[in-house]
Structure 1
Amino acid sequence: MVAVIAGWLLTACTANPIEPAGPTAPTAAGAAPTIGAPTATPISAPPNDSTSIPPTPTPAPTEPPATVVALKCDGLTPEQTEGPYYTPDTPERTSLIEPGMTGTKLILTGYVLDANCQPIANAWLDFWQADAAGEYDNAGYVMRGHQFTDADGRYQLETMLPGLYPGRTRHIHVKVQAPGGPVLTSQIYFPGEAANAGDQIFDPALIAEVETTADGLRGAFNFVINPK
């Protein structure tokens, strides 16, 4: 995947429909409209404490998204359970899509911000999720990977829309950590899902902004964390 979000903007304090990208960085974090229908080699372990963030960010993608969504920065991102399927030592990569995968393509973009809505460079994000069939790979690293924000605090994840499994709505797990800071463990949810109402873990504050595109879905979610 070749994609970049340099040159687009997530504007503050709105939850309006999708708008064209702008010239400056946003100050934002999640809320949402409804959506339409819808192997990498392990590297060194992710950080287990407040001192283990590597010094360089994941290289930024090279193609900006066609559109961005307006988000708000209105408080720290809620913490959620890690669940039983976390695996450390994931590969560093911005795309979780592998040859032969089926499902709905999702490109998720956003920023990691502090409580003052300032972007955090070189923040660590570790994503893991079920595949389109609702199954986790607990033996390898399918649908698992970590990355680092760029100098402007931006990240981009290319993946497949996660499937449903009993008791859970669609979601993506994530751990986020600023350099030298505490680890936030949380989840990202999707708008318009019937299963949201019956999921005991679901938090509407963690719904991403999502739009339907020609080749799948494009979403946006900003993380607001304590950097120290």
Structure 2
Amino acid sequence: MDEETKLSRKTVLRAALAAGVAAPVALLGGPALARTAATSGQVPALTPSCHDDDDPTPEQIEGPYFKPNSPERTSLVTPGTQGTRLTLTGYVFGLACLPVDRALLDFWQADVNGAYDNTGYTFRGHQYTNAQGAFTLSTIVPGLYPGRTRHIHVKVQAPGRPILTTQLYFPNEPRNNTDSIFDARLLMTVRDNGSAKEAAFDFVLNVPQNPPTTTVTSPPPGGTTWAAGTAYAAGARVTYGGRDYVCLQGHTAQPGWEPPNVPALWRTA
């Protein structure tokens, strides 16, 4: 992966925020994240840092409590729901560390008492990633039941690809050491937020991807028309929609990053 391609991925959420697009909360770094974050009190990087050699997220058993046809929703709680509130955010990547748009995530878990709803769909729901590969789930910290540590079940599927079935775990749980299914590679990054908790996890699916390979080492004299897949250096000039723009930081253009949409990358000339 060339340095400009890496940089383009490190600017996507910064550009999205500048364009008014919501993005998941960036948490302090941990072993489960495919992205990295600052740990010295500085503002964390806004974009996942992913590498082409990242291993796919490990599979785990489905367990006996999965139910198909869960409702589509991003929140599994209501105002009267008991338990510590948990917000889980993350991304879904393919093997080239490009985001997977419209990836399906189907979550299910135990309630605060460690029980699953096998007659209805309490603490069950599915959703889809956005164009940046991001997802957000509002739920609670699941309760414990005999033989298992705390965990959240999930199925993840890129459009038209096989389903990944796995489980997510909480750090510093005593039962992590005795649960025979537990896998440290599936630990979420978790932190307190008042009386609630915030968690993060990034999925890497076994989905082949072809990152853009077109490169431009220097801007052509007089500028050129903006085009997705082109590597632009800082200072490069382009035209888009009849207006001229100057590149503010090197990146490889992707669909949705047109100059008017990403003022973090382009300014009007």
| Same fold, judged at TM 0.5 (above) | yes
> Any idea what the Cα deviations from partners look like across 1:84-116, whole Å, max 9, x if unmatched?
000000000000002421111000000000112
SS of aligned partner of 1:117: coil
| Counterpart AA for 2:118 | N
Give 1:226 shift. 1.8
Question: Separation in 1 of the partners of 2:35 and 2:137?
Answer: 24
2:106–2:125 contact (8 Å) kept in structure 1: yes
Q: CA deviation at 1:27?
A: 3.3
> In structure 2, what residue type is equivalent to 1:85?
Y
Aligned residues: 182
Matched position secondary structure for 1:89: coil
Partner of 1:6: 23
Q: 2:111 aligns with which of 131, 145, 154?
A: 131
2:65 is matched by which residue type in structure 1? Y
Report the identity percentage: 53
**1:224 has 2:204 as partner:** yes
TM-score computed with the length of structure 2 as normaliser: 0.62
User: Does the C-alpha gap of structure 1 residues 175 and 167 become closer, same or farther in structure 2, counting only changes over 3 Å?
Assistant: same
Q: Matched residues in 1 for 2:87 and 2:181: separation?
A: 24
**Distance change in 2, residues 1:128/1:26 (3 Å):** same
TM-score w.r.t. structure 1 length? 0.73
Q: RMSD value over aligned CA atoms?
A: 2.5
Of residues 163, 171, 176, the one that matches 1:196 is 176
Q: 1:19–1:142: structure 2 CA closer, same or farther, 3 Å change rule?
A: farther
Say if 2:24 and 2:136, in contact at 8 Å, map to a contact too: no
Q: Which of 93, 96, 110 is 2:76 aligned to?
A: 96
In structure 2, give the amino acid aligned to 1:6: A
SS class of match (1:184): strand
**Which residue type is aligned with residue 27 of structure 1?**
S
> 1:142 corresponds to which letter in structure 2?
T
**Would you say 1:20 and 2:43 are equivalent positions?**
yes
SS at match of 2:131: coil
- Paired residues of 1:122 and 1:151 also in contact (CA < 8 A): yes
Q: Distance in 1 between matches of 2:161 and 2:84?
A: 34
Which gives a bigger RCO, structure 1 or 2 (Cα 8 Å, sep 6+)?
1
Q: CA deviation at 1:207?
A: 0.1
Q: Tell me the distance in 2 between the aligned counterparts of 1:13 and 1:148.
A: 20
Q: Does 2:101 align with 1:121?
A: yes
Provide the rounded CA distance (Å) in 1 between the counterparts of 2:101 and 2:143: 31
Gaps of 5+ in 2: 1-20, 209-269
Assess if the C-alpha contact under 8 Å between 2:110 and 2:143 holds in 1. yes
Q: How far apart in 2 are the matches of 1:19 and 1:201?
A: 36
Give 1:14 deviation, angstroms. Answer: 4.2
Amino acid at match of 1:26: P
- Answer whether contact 2:188 2:201 (CA < 8 A) is retained: yes
In structure 2, C-alpha distance between the alignment counterparts of 1:73 and 1:221, rounded to whole Å: 18
CA shift for structure 1 position 185: 0.1
Which whole-Å CA distance do the structure 1 matches of 2:171 and 2:189 have between them? Answer: 8
Q: Which residue of 1 aligns with 2:64?
A: 84
The equivalent of 1:32 in structure 2 is: none
Instruction: Determine helix, strand or coil for the equivalent of 1:195.
Output: helix
What CA deviation, in whole Å up to 9, does each residue of 1:175-201 have, x standing for no partner? Answer: 000011110000000000001001000
Deviation at 1:16, TM superposition (A): 5.8
- Counterpart CA distance in 1 for 2:22 and 2:112 is 25
Does 2:89 match 1:109?
yes
Q: In structure 1, what is the equivalent of residue 243 of structure 2?
A: none
Rounded to whole Å, the distance in 1 between the matches of 2:53 and 2:144 is 29
